[in-house]
């Protein structure tokens, strides 16, 4: 699907579907045949430009386009970028239902920065047009692909058209990477296993990619990461992705991603109903990889190193067992309280290893705890950090991108929960309460001294069982847009 921009009168466009965006209390601003077509339905009590309301009418040959769709944005003062993205998802869904192949979309005249508005429109369209239908045979035959979406700007914006076009290019780059991220989350665990993830990383152009195999990890002493991966026929590995966008600067961020290509739970086996989606447990690593790829494609002037901690958590005669103790890269010993709390194990070796890159900041991204999803729901990730400046910046980027996060606390008392009788700490304490915080407190033990650190628990929003506006069901690619924005504005 192509997204382009033009100036002109939307009534004259020949696309299959004209999309108008109407605000509440707005009188019909359209004139001529278009004005006549929408006059009555716009006054309908059901519509009135209310948020989430829409109607579509056939043009019956009165205009070159086949149909007109009017989407309500609600009260002018309450319109934000998220509403625009969501309106674009309505446009894509309705276009598909009426089998429209081309859309011309009114560029709304609202009080918003033109770049940000374009970004929201392009993202809303591109992200909503995604589907993972590789394994569908029947539906695919009938599928109508939308070919073009044209943003139509009023002639008075002819000077801004260049800005709009450049922004569309940028947004398309971002969304293509989100789509690639979704694709590898949705793909079989029999295809996306650690070595294959490494292969995909190595194929990414313009980035330095190094892979530490099992032997190398043994040499380095990644005792926790190896313990998790040992039970699978697919060996664990660490994929290091380096992007030096600002060689003159010493400022460096390490992104650590949880890359469990399948989480059965291990000997603490997950029951039916909790395991089926667990190919998504590498969403953190996928997010890290495609965030860095996006930064490189956009040429963002930052130095970022990605550590994707890859392993499969399986049951076999070699698997690690509850009650075992292992020693981490940091030297700390860890008792295995639960083999299903494997994410914090693979992450903590990489977090400790980050010190070799002399970073100022470490951010880890992980589908870490069911507790976080229970606490915050499916649409919000948990953010944990002691750094108020990092929290504020992440929060600002979250509000702008719609990748929603919420800060959760880490108080010292909670450290009690991860005390162990046999080792320095345990990966799973006795208490069920505050599971997401316990996991964060565990990770904190491995953060190199003097380095800022933030942890994003994306267990809720990484994978959805039903679509949510521009996020499809299954893998969402959560975090890519959030982190790209984080570095863009850092
Ligand atoms: N991968 C899961 C967390 C998860 C749950 C991700 C739901 C996405 C959706 C993680 O490895 C896990 O199983 N965590 C346990 C920890 C517990 C054993 C301390 C959990 O959350 O139950
Ligand atoms: Zn688990
Ligand atoms: Zn897991």
CA angle, 164 then 167 then 173, to 5°: 145
CA distance 273 to 130: 26
Note the pLDDT of residue 430: 84
Rg (CA), the chain: 24
Active site residue 165: no
The DSSP line for 420-487 is: -SSSSEESS-S--TTHHHHHHHHHHTTSPTT-EEEEEE-TTTTEESS-BTTBPSEE--TTHHHHHHHH
Distance from residue 89's CA to the centre of ligand 3 (Å): 31
Q: Which residues pair with 255 in a beta bridge?
A: 306, 363
Which residue, 110, 105, 81, 108, is CA-closest to 91? 105
Residues in the chain: 490
Point out the catalytic residue in the list 6, 165, 270, 473.
Answer: 270
Give the residue, out of 368, 372, 433, 455, with the most ligand 1 atoms within 8 A of its beta carbon, to mutate for a pocket test. Answer: 368
Strands 253-263 and 361-366, bridge-based pairing: parallel
Residue for token digits 């004005």? Answer: 35
Cβ atoms of residues 447 and 348 within 8 Å:
no
- What backbone phi and psi angles, to 5 degrees, belong to 141? -60, -35
pTM for this model (two decimals): 0.98
CA distance 448 to 358: 10
Q: Which ligand is nearest to the CA of 435?
A: 1
Which residue, 77, 93, 61, 46, is CA-closest to 472? 93
Cβ atoms of residues 226 and 218 within 8 Å:
yes
Point out the catalytic residue in the list 83, 344, 400, 481.
Answer: 344
CB under 8 Å to 420, separation ≥6 — which residues? Answer: 334, 335, 337, 426
Pocket of ligand 1 (CB under 6 A): 263, 281, 338, 340-343, 367-371, 373, 428, 435, 459
Note the pLDDT of residue 313: 98
Q: Which ligand is nearest to the CA of 370?
A: 1
DSSP 243: E
The DSSP line for 130-162 is: ----TT-SHHHHHPPPP-EEEEEE-GGGTTTHH
CA distance 399 to 393: 10
Q: Which token pair is 302?
A: 């930052």
Q: pLDDT tens digits, the chain, 490 residues: what are they?
A: 999 999 999 999 999 999 999 999 888 999 999 999 999 999 998 898 999 999 999 999 999 999 999 999 999 999 999 999 999 999 999 999 999 999 999 999 988 999 999 999 999 999 999 999 999 988 777 788 999 999 999 999 999 999 999 999 999 999 999 999 999 999 999 999 999 999 999 999 999 999 999 999 999 999 999 999 999 999 999 999 999 999 999 999 999 999 999 999 999 999 999 999 999 999 999 999 999 999 999 999 999 999 999 999 999 999 999 999 999 999 999 999 999 999 999 999 999 999 999 999 999 999 999 999 999 999 999 999 999 999 999 999 999 999 999 999 999 988 899 999 999 999 998 898 999 999 999 999 999 999 999 999 999 999 999 999 999 999 999 999 999 999 999 9
Q: Which token pair is 298?
A: 């956009």
Note the pLDDT of residue 26: 84
Cβ atoms of residues 350 and 442 within 8 Å:
no
Largest CA distance in the chain: 81
CA distance 90 to 75: 18
Measured from the Cα of 270, ligand 1's closest atom is 13
CA distance 17 to 151: 12
- What backbone phi and psi angles, to 5 degrees, belong to 269? -55, 140
Distance from residue 139's CA to the centre of ligand 1 (Å): 33
Note the pLDDT of residue 140: 72
- The sheet that has 425-426: what strands, in order across it? 325-327, 333-335, 425-426
CB under 8 Å to 270, separation ≥6 — which residues? Answer: 263, 264, 278, 340
Active site residue 344: yes
Cβ atoms of residues 209 and 244 within 8 Å:
no
Measured from the Cα of 371, ligand 1's closest atom is 21
CA distance 361 to 398: 18
DSSP 248: T
C-beta neighbour count of 302 within 10 angstroms: 18
Measured from the Cα of 462, ligand 1's closest atom is 8
């Amino acid at each position: 699907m192509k997204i382009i921009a033009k100036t002109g009168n939307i009534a004259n466009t020949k696309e299959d579907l004209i999309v108008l965006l109407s605000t509440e209390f707005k009188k019909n601003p359209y004139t001529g045949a278009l004005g006549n077509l929408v006059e009555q339905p716009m006054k309908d009590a059901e519509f009135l430009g209310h948020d989430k309301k829409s109607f579509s009418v056939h043009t019956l040959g009165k205009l070159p386009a086949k149909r007109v769709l009017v989407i309500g944005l609600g009260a002018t003062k309450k319109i934000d970028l998220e509403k625009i993205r969501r309106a674009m998802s309505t446009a894509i869904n309705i276009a598909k239902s009426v089998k429209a192949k081309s859309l011309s979309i009114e560029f709304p005249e609202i009080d918003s920065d033109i770049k940000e508005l374009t970004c929201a429109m392009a993202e809303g369209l591109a992200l909503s047009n995604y589907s993972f239908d590789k394994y569908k045979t029947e539906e695919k035959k009938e599928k109508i692909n939308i070919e073009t979406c044209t943003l139509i700007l009023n002639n008075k914006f002819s000077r801004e058209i260049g800005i709009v076009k450049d922004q569309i290019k940028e947004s398309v780059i971002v969304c293509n990477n989100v789509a690639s991220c979704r694709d590898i989350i949705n793909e079989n665990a029999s295809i996306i296993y650690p070595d294959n993830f490494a292969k995909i990383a190595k194929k990414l152009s313009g980035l330095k990619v190094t892979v530490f195999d099992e032997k190398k990890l043994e040499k380095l002493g990644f005792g926790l990461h190896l313990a998790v991966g040992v039970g699978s026929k697919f060996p664990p590995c660490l994929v290091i992705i380096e992007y030096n966008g600002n060689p003159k600067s010493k400022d460096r961020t390490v992104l650590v991603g949880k890359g469990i290509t399948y989480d059965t739970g291990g000997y603490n086996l997950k029951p039916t109903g909790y395991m089926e989606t667990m190919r998504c447990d590498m969403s953190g690593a996928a997010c890290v990889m495609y965030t860095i790829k996006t930064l490189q494609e956009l040429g963002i002037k930052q130095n970022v190193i990605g550590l994707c901690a890859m392993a499969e958590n399986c049951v076999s005669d070699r698997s690690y067992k509850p009650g075992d103790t292992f020693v981490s890269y940091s030297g700390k010993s860890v008792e295995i309280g639960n083999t299903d709390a494997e994410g914090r194990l693979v992450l903590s070796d990489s977090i400790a290893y980050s010190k070799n890159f002399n970073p100022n900041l470490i951010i880890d991204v992980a589908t870490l705890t069911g507790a976080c999803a229970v606490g915050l729901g499916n649409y919000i990730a948990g953010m944990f950090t002691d750094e108020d400046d990092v929290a504020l910046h992440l929060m600002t980027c979250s509000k702008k991108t719609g990748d929603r996060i919420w800060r959760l606390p880490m108080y010292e008392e909670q450290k009690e929960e991860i005390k162990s009788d046999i080792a320095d700490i345990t990966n799973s304490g006795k208490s069920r309460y505050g599971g997401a915080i316990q996991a964060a407190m565990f990770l904190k033990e491995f953060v190199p001294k003097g380095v800022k650190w933030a942890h994003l628990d994306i267990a809720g929003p990484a994978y959805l069982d039903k679509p949510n506006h521009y996020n499809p069901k299954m893998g969402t690619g959560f975090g890519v847009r959030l982190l790209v924005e984080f570095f863009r504005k850092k």
